[in-house]
Amino acid sequence: MKLPFSALLGLCLTAAFVLVAVFAQVIAPYPIDAAVGGVWEGPSARFWLGTDTIGRDILSRLIYGAQVTLFVALVSSLLSFAMGAFFGFLAVVRGGWIDMVLSRLVDLMMAVPSLIVALVVLSVLPLNLTVLILVMGVLDSTRVFRLSRAVAADIAVMDYVEAARLRGERQSWIIFREILPNALSPLVAEFGLRFIFAVLFISTLSFLGLGIQPPLSDWGGMVRENKDGLIYGKAAALMPALAIAALAISVNLVADWVLSRTTSLKGGRGA
């Protein structure tokens, strides 16, 4: 099996981001929230990317920001995935009124853009990590629900699933042995997309001042803190934005590759 260059690049970059996030405390040269230099110092041997609007090391903050951003995005996309896939499969296998109620509920949630719903909900709820992760996870689970329901519904009408039912197999065999193995590769690619979406969503909320609250800081929040720097022409202020873009693009490249390897549902061994 040959890995195309774009996928290799995506995999390497994604792995690098994950390593940085996991070992942030070890790698970062300075503490997250200490003014260690002057205001808006340029890049130097001491501060590789310069300092920010109150003299904190931008590189260190970026490294800690990676930890917060990736953690929140990962947990909320895992949540959305678990919920969406579970209810999506449930809707197909049980059918009837369960399917009806779940599908209408999802229609209702998706009738309004997620950002608007999130803003309305966050105007009432307290702003903390748990609330953010829950809100993002629940809102995004609607998309996973639609996809897994569609994929599972395509598979559920296949003759081999009917053959298993005629054999008298239990529901658990049908879900885990007949449907799930065939639904896996589209769902894996979807997980990549959900993760990106979570990164963008939390960054946007933080940028609007409604996401991660100080002293913690993620990349979106850093863009907000440093937006004045840009007007003074400090390129370093762009770094957090660049980090978001790089992460999103690398995960996208991997997801694209997984998706392109997904053979049709009917035949082939696929990934």
In terms of CB distance, is 36 or 110 closer to another protein? 110
DSSP state of 210: S
Cβ distance to another protein smaller for residue 10 or 84: 10
Least Å distance between CB 23 and another protein? 25
- Judged by beta carbon, residue 19 or residue 107, the one nearer another protein is 107
What SS3 state is found at 234? coil
Nearer to another protein, 30 or 174 (CB): 174
In whole angstroms, the minimum distance from the beta carbon of 95 to another protein comes to 12
CB of 48 to another protein, least distance (A): 19
Q: Which is nearer to another protein, 77 or 182 (CB)?
A: 182
Min. distance of Cβ 103 from another protein in angstroms?
A: 13
DSSP 8-state secondary structure symbol assigned to residue 32: T
Pick between residue 70 and residue 223 the one whose CB is nearest to another protein: 223
* Nearest distance in Å: CB 213, another protein: 11
Question: In whole angstroms, how close is the CB of 244 to another protein at the nearest point?
Answer: 5
Residue 143: closest CA among 181, 92, 198, 203: 198
Q: Which two tokens mark 242? A: 């660049």
Q: Give the footprint of another protein on this chain (CB under 8 A).
A: 1-2, 107-108, 111-117, 119-126, 158-160, 162-163, 165-169, 177-178, 181-182, 196, 200, 203-204, 207-210, 220, 223, 227, 230-231, 233, 235, 237-238, 241, 244-245, 248-249, 252, 256, 260-263, 265-271
* Helical H segments across 95-207, by residue range: 96-110, 114-122, 129-156, 159-167, 171-173, 180-207
If 0-12 CB within 10 Å is exposed, 13-18 middle and 19+ buried, where does residue 130 land?
A: exposed
**Exposed, middle or buried by CB within 10 Å (0-12, 13-18, 19+), for 164?**
middle
In the chain, what are the helix, strand and coil shares in percent, each to the nearest 5? 70, 0, 25
60's CB contacts (< 8 A; 6+ apart) are 28, 29, 30, 31, 32
